[in-house]
Each structure stands twice: as structure tokens, then as C-alpha cells.
Amino acid sequence: MKKDDPRNWSQLRQRLEAWKKNKELRSVPRQEVPEALVRSVLAEQYGIMPEEVTPEQIRLAVADLLRHYPSISLVSLVTIPSLSEPDTEKKASRKSFVTPLLKAKGWSILDWANKANVSHATAMDYLQDKTAPYRSTRLKLATALGIPVEELPK
């Protein structure tokens, strides 16, 4: 019977050691991982566009990193509004252009996203002008609506 074997420790010592380890892990500086990097690597790995990477794929990839880094912080992208076109005009033009088309088809935003084979978040981000979508994403969104990609607001 070894004294250093945690299985042989008293309940109190086991809990104290667990508490100390937890406290130690919390004091370690977080490793910041840019979401853009995760998306880029996963997109390359799966042969898809970065905006097509799902939150679940990101979660699993970051969870896998926890084996090597005790504390991780995923840093999201911050989009910078375009200086050439006021933000409110872009939002209004995207939303005001797409909403009547969706209503005419009897579709929700989720229906549109499914028909375009993009995530619901991608369609929402497009409508709310949170992203500048890739041409391939705009093509999918336009095709689902039955319009040329050139007609879909950038």
C-alpha cells in the first residue's frame, strides 16, 4: 500500500488536492485562440468555406486543444463596418431586398438557409450585415432565391 497513491488518500485529502488543482488551473493564463484561425484550419481540413464551419465543429476542435492547453479562450472575429457605405443603409438594403422574396416564397430565414445549404447563422449574419460573405456563399443564397448573384446586395 503506497501512501502517494491518490486512491489511498483520505476523502478530505482527495478533495483538498482536487480543489488545489482546480485553483491552479484557474490561475493559468488563458491561451487565446482566434476563431478565424480555427475556421480556416477546419475549412481547409474538410474542403469547405470558412463560413460553412459549424459551431459544433469549432467546439470539438477547441475541446481537443484542451489536452495540450489547460485554459483556452476562443476569440471571435470583430467585423469593421465599411467606410464606403453607411452601416444602416447596407442592413436596410439587404433585409429590405430579401424579406419580400422570402415572404413571396412563404419561407422563413431558416428555410432559405436550408435551401441555400448554409447555416442559419450565415443567413442571419448576412441579413444583419455582420459579415461580408464570400462570393460562393452569396451565390448559394441568390440561387436559393432564384435570382442572379449580381442582384443580391453585397
Give pLDDT tens digits for 131-149.
888 889 999 999 998 888 8
Average model confidence (pLDDT) across the chain: 83
Residues 70 and 92 in one domain: no
Q: Which among 54, 30, 119 has a CA at the least distance from the CA of 137?
A: 119
* Residue 62 located in a structural domain: yes
Domain that holds residue 58: 11-75
* Residue 133 located in a structural domain: yes
CA–CA separation, 124 vs 103, rounded Å? 16
Q: What CATH number does the domain containing 100 carry?
A: 1.10.260.40
CB 127 within 8 A of CB 47: no
Please, which residues have CB within 8 angstroms of residue 13's CB and are 6 or more apart in sequence?
none
CA–CA separation, 122 vs 138, rounded Å? 10
pLDDT reading at 29 higher than 70: yes
How many structural domains compose the chain? Answer: 2
Place of cell 470558412: 50
Name the percent of the chain in helix, strand, coil, to the closest 5.
60, 5, 35
Looking at the whole model, is its pTM more than 0.75? no
Give pLDDT tens digits for 70-103.
788 888 754 434 444 444 444 458 888 898 888 8
* Residue 1 located in a structural domain: no
Give pLDDT tens digits for 31-63.
888 888 898 899 888 888 888 888 899 989 999
CB 111 within 8 A of CB 141: no
